[in-house]
């Protein structure tokens, strides 16, 4: 006997399993079945496809007028941090620059201070609240970076919290080591800090899935980033990079040269870098909610990347300073509006391509896959991008069990 049947599905979204990320025009191809059925047994998909009355189950959900998709994947977050920085919004409205805010005690170093001061249990409790908000909005696979400790003890604290969250919530989480996020105040020099953190790589390996670095003007140069990425690969890490967010330094080209699993931000990437994506499996993880939150006019040029045959994914970049958004649905809508992506491209960018950006096998609900899916209160799969700013996830199902039920009735 099967455990659960979801029947009468208005639209069933079935991204296809892929060995490599979808590139260029491939991203606009999405299998959408009208009047679909999903059958779940022992936490896995037993059948997903056109309507069928051939199955029986202990439980049935009538999804008339609903959309069903794989659970979403947020492929770039800074989930675990102490404190908050809402006071900086007034400074930004006054036209204060990032450096001026930093000099006034704000910016990333204020988050580093708060993260160092908070206990591990308090940090866990705070991050758990934010993580569960993501789950309530349909996300069951998350990348959770370190990067607000900037020393051995506090980076390991963040990574331990990330693993505790994955264990307690039983979620697929990836844990990049992003100690190269900025240079702490107490560092004698960039070079001394870099050497100390590179020496930490072997110890971090048991906690971290990837090595990540923020390559930007006045942070870490292309040369420093290249050295770190090569040392990380020698230590057995797959590598990632925050690249070309503000200035076109060549971070995307470096990511491609180093076979990075992903390059992130890419707002200012060069035409050469965008053209080279075609011959690379590096996924360009674009973060339009960050550009929106910072009130910038220039967004990453997703259309050129796709026209050049590149692979892209969409993520929130949830963090305390530049994208305080842990609702991937909102980032999806901004991607459609500002990156000019089609509905099919957006859905693939937060499922199968997002999975490739973090080396996860999530993102599909075909036979044999984990039954991680969402029942959406949507007229069709395009509607989530049209009616934005609210939570359309009606039920979130993890390995065949409903763990979030947002359906309610007022008598």
* Residue 317 is assigned to a ligand binding site: yes
* Residue 76 is assigned to a ligand binding site: yes
Q: Are 26 and 344 in contact (CB under 8 A)?
A: no
* Residue 265 is assigned to a ligand binding site: no
- Backbone φ and ψ of 80, nearest 5°: -105, 110
Residues paired with residue 239 on neighbouring β-strands, in sequence order = 211
Nearest to 135 by CA among 327, 286, 4: 327
* Residue 322 is assigned to a ligand binding site: yes
Q: Please give the C-alpha separations between residue 123 and each of 78, 146, 224, 402, in angstroms, as whole numbers.
A: 13, 12, 30, 27
Residues paired with residue 70 on neighbouring β-strands, in sequence order = 373
* Residue 116 is assigned to a ligand binding site: no
* Cβ neighbours, 10 Å, residue 152: 15
Residue 238 CA to its chain's centroid (Å): 17
* Residue 276 is assigned to a ligand binding site: no
Q: Are 56 and 4 in contact (CB under 8 A)?
A: no
Tokens linked to 85: 């920085």
∠ CA 53-58-62 to the nearest 5 degrees? 55
* Residue 164 is assigned to a ligand binding site: no
Q: Please give the C-alpha separations between residue 98 and each of 94, 208, 294, in angstroms, as whole numbers.
A: 12, 30, 11
Beta strand spans in 78-223 (E): 139-144, 172-174, 176-180, 210-215
Q: Return the percent helix, strand and coil in the chain, to nearest 5.
A: 35, 25, 40
* Residue 387 is assigned to a ligand binding site: no
Can you count the helices (H) and strands (E) in the chain?
A: 16, 17
* Residue 160 is assigned to a ligand binding site: no
Q: Which residues are annotated as a binding site for Zn(2+)?
A: 76, 78, 242, 317
Q: Which residues are annotated as a binding site for N-formimidoyl-L-glutamate?
A: 148, 319, 321
Q: Which residues are annotated as a binding site for 4-imidazolone-5-propanoate?
A: 85, 148, 181, 245, 322
Q: Which residues are annotated as a binding site?
A: 76, 78, 85, 148, 181, 242, 245, 317, 319, 321-322
Q: Which residues are annotated as a binding site for Fe(3+)?
A: 76, 78, 242, 317
């Amino acid at each position: 006997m099967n455990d659960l049947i979801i029947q009468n599905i208005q639209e069933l979204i079935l991204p296809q399993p892929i060995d490599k990320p979808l590139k260029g025009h491939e991203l606009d191809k999405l299998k959408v079945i009208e009047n679909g059925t999903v059958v779940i047994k022992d936490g896995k998909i037993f059948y997903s496809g056109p309507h069928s009355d051939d199955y029986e189950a202990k439980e049935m959900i009538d999804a008339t007028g609903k959309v069903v998709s794989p659970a979403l994947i947020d492929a770039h977050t800074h989930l675990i941090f102490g404190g908050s920085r809402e006071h900086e919004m007034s400074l930004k409205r006054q036209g204060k620059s990032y450096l001026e805010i930093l000099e006034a005690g704000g910016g990333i170093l204020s988050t580093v201070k708060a993260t160092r001061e908070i206990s591990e249990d308090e940090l866990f409790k705070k991050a758990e609240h934010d993580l569960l908000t993501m789950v309530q909005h349909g996300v069951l696979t998350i990348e959770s970076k370190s990067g607000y400790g900037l020393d051995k003890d506090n980076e390991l604290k963040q990574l331990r919290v990330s693993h505790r969250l994955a264990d307690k919530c039983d979620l697929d989480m990836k844990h990049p080591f992003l100690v190269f996020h900025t240079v702490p105040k107490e560092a004698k020099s960039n070079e001394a800090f870099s050497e100390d953190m590179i020496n930490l790589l072997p110890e971090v390996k048991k906690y971290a899935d990837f090595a990540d670095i923020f390559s930007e003007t006045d942070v870490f140069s292309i040369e420093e980033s290249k050295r770190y990425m090569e040392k990380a690969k020698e230590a057995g890490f797959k590598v990632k990079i925050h690249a070309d967010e503000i200035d076109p330094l060549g971070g995307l080209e470096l990511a491609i040269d180093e076979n990075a699993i992903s390059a992130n931000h890419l707002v200012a990437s060069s035409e050469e870098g965008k053209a080279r994506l075609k011959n690379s499996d590096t996924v360009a993880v674009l973060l339009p909610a960050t550009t929106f939150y910072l009130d910038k006019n220039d967004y990453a040029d997703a259309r050129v990347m796709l026209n050049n045959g590149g692979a892209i994914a969409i993520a929130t970049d949830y963090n305390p300073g530049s994208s305080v958004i842990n609702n991937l649905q909102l980032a999806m809508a901004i991607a459609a509006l500002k990156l000019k992506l089609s509905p099919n491209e957006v859905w693939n960018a937060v499922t199968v391509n997002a999975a490739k950006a973090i080396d996860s096998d999530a993102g599909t609900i075909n036979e044999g896959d984990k039954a991680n899916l969402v029942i959406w209160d949507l007229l069709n799969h395009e509607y989530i991008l049209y009616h934005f700013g609210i939570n359309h996830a009606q039920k979130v199902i993890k390995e065949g069990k409903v763990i979030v039920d947002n359906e309610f009735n007022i008598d």
